A and B are shown apart, each in its own frame.
Chain A
Amino acid sequence: MAMLEVNDLQVYYGVICALKGISFQVEQGQIVSLIGANGAGKTTMMQSIVSLIPKREGTVVFEGKDITKTPSHKIVRLGMTQVPEGRRIFQELTVYENLLMGAYTNKDQQSFKRDLEMIYERFPRLAERKNQIAGTLSGGEQQMLAMGRAIMCHPKLLMLDEPSMGLSPLLVDQVFEIIKDINKDGTTILLVEQNAGKSLAISDQAYVMENGKIVLSGTGAELASSEKVKKAYLGG
């Protein structure tokens, strides 16, 4: 049984159909990515899976439990969270307070301290700036903070929505390295990206989305070598 199963997910904005029946699976321990152009419905899909946007049809099953109608905050408690598109860190809080919010579901002081040290070790920039107001961080630092904040709640499945968006090439490489690291530590990853090349390179399994539908699927390597994907998404 897959860790996450999405079956025939349909989402509408008013009368406009944004997702026309999406089905895919995420196996435990893998990195799974969904690639696609702007407006393909990637963010809509990510947000509807965690109930931030209501679903019209379809089911979402996480570790055998139907979470189709489970409210977002309870989904987080089940072990699945998301780094949303645009990072959405709490601008008015400090770096430390943001990480504290990430650990909202964890009331154990001891493990909180350990997690905090681990995050500061992994992201030294955050340690340097722990008392700075988060809104004053650079884009790259904000992305690090958003990822750090998300792993503070020990997710079994971490969803990342466009983590490389708006970052310099150097930082993009760094973000993908961090994603690989988080995965190595045992966290399953569902990644949505426009940067198809880099995503496919680290993915065990990948899907291509177009106009609210999944049009192609395969292993990362298969899709990276597919003529169609090369032509449409890899600039070749």
Chain B
Amino acid sequence: MTTAINGLSLGGIYAMIALGYTMVYGIAKMLNFAHGDVIMIGGYMIYVTMATGNPLLAIAVAVLSCVILGVTIEKVAYKPLRGASPLAVLITAIGISYLLQSLAQIIFGSAAKMVTVYELGSIQFLGATVQLSALVTLGVTVVVMAALTLFVKFTRVGRAMIAVSEDRGAAQLMGINVNGIITLTFAIGSALAALAGLFYLLKAPNVSSTMGAMPGIKAFTAAVIGGIGSIPGAMLGGILLGIVESVSYKFAAIAPYTDAIEFSILIIILLVRPNGFLGKKRREKV
């Protein structure tokens, strides 16, 4: 039971990061490998603002600064490359990732910083001891996912996102400002990254310049397993990976190989279902 809840909550963190990857991929058709580092910046923002002792303020500052950061990265680094080869965009994204990590190291030093946002403790739940932070993570994830799904399906702007993701040219002919939609996508993805950073800190209260790297790659894996470009796919992939990870950590014999197991799942899925579980087969248009 404890393992299940932990797996679900870890999966929730992955799912939340994976959503950023998958939405940006679906709409801007690029892999934003700097996405994991936005989490890290969110973490540092919480660390800095926690000096005031106000966790709510810290969360607000983190979300806001991540949104500004994400939108700025898109405007400065990716927008000029629209229409350029995917490889150029990919390399730029990796460059931005290193830039953010190095900046954080220069400003905050390379040693990890401790930050406690909330002392949540644990409770007895269905006969098991469960970290309260895991339940909070799980609950917020479910709410955010549901809200996002409804937003995309039932609002004018949400539908415009689907249209842009399906056919950018046709969307422009509807009068949709594609650049605006892409900016919005980066803003949403970055806000989710900030939340993921918060949940990460509830689980392990350390901030470091590389804290976003591993969750970023895991979440990317989750997005691909679920089918990149698909919002329910990101949730499914994230939860799946989270559960695999917590179960694997339970058994001493395989615990050291947890990462290897997770990435092997990715390879197997790519061999069997190259589009992931919920990914669509896309016809390549000439």
Contact = CB atoms under 8 A, between A and B. Distances in A.
B175 A90 contact: no
Given A52-B169, A88-B169, A88-B170, A93 B176 contact: no
A47 B173 CA distance: 10
Given A101-B160, A101-B163, A104-B156, A84 B178 contact: no
A84 B172 CA distance: 11
Interface string A148-176: 01100100000000000000000000000
Contact of A84 (B162, B173, B175): B173
Interface string B170-198: 11111111100000000000000000000
Contacts, number: 67
Contacts of B177: 71, 73
A70 to B, nearest CB: 11
B273 interface: no
Interface in A133-153: 149-150, 153
B166 interface: yes
Contacts of A192: none
Interface residues of B, number: 18
A77 interface: yes
Nearest to A86: B285
B113 interface: no
A153 B280 CA distance: 30
A44 B283 CA distance: 22
Interface in A72-110: 72-73, 76-77, 81-82, 84, 88-93, 97, 100-102, 104-105
Interface in B140-163: 156, 159-160, 162-163
A50 interface: yes
B119 interface: no
B267 to A, nearest CB: 29
A139 B169 CA distance: 20
B173 A50 contact: yes
Contacts of A102: 174
A202 to B, nearest CB: 23
Contacts of B280: 92
Contacts of A105: 174-175
Contacts of B175: 73, 76-77, 81, 104-105, 153
Interface of A: 47, 50, 52, 71-73, 76-77, 81-82, 84, 88-93, 97, 100-102, 104-105, 149-150, 153
Given A92-B162, A101-B159, 18 more contacts: A71-B177, A81-B173, A81-B175, A84-B170, A84-B173, A88-B167, A90-B163, A90-B167, A90-B170, A100-B156, A101-B160, A101-B163, A101-B171, A102-B174, A104-B174, A105-B175, A153-B174, A153-B175
